[in-house]
Amino acid sequence: MKTMKLINKKICMGKDIGIHGNVFGGYIMSWIDEAGAAFATEYCCTPNMVTLRVGELLFKKPLKAGNHVRLYGDVDHLGNTSIKINIEARKFNLYSGEETVVCTTSITFVRIDDDGQPTPIGETVKRNYERTKVPEEMMG
């Protein structure tokens, strides 16, 4: 499993269950968007971020009522006005500590001004991102 930052936790509730006895995918989608937005705003040091694009959502395993879910994220790309984040939802086993990936996606957020227009992400954020990037040749 990839090393990512823990960005949120959820407990699957009975109200989250769809007609097939699993957590409704729409709820998982909203959890991912909310966690991603919180991560993006903190990373970019601004509350003015909006969702631009959600990549393919891949639902790998079902979730049931009572399951604990941990949401993880990492920055895939930082642009002039946008940030792309990879997100994994993982079922967490309270007894063993084991995590199982149940859903993956990527989300792009855009920094906006008061009129809703794209505006540049701060230079300090960009410098921090460049400093923490792992060179491609070092990745397996």
Task: Give CA–CA dist 18/92, Å, rounded.
Answer: 20
pLDDT value for 135: 61
Tens of pLDDT, residues 62-77? 999 999 999 999 999 9
89, with CB counted inside 10 A (0-12, 13-18, 19+), is buried
pTM higher than 0.75 for the full model?
yes
Element (H, E) at 37: helix 25-43
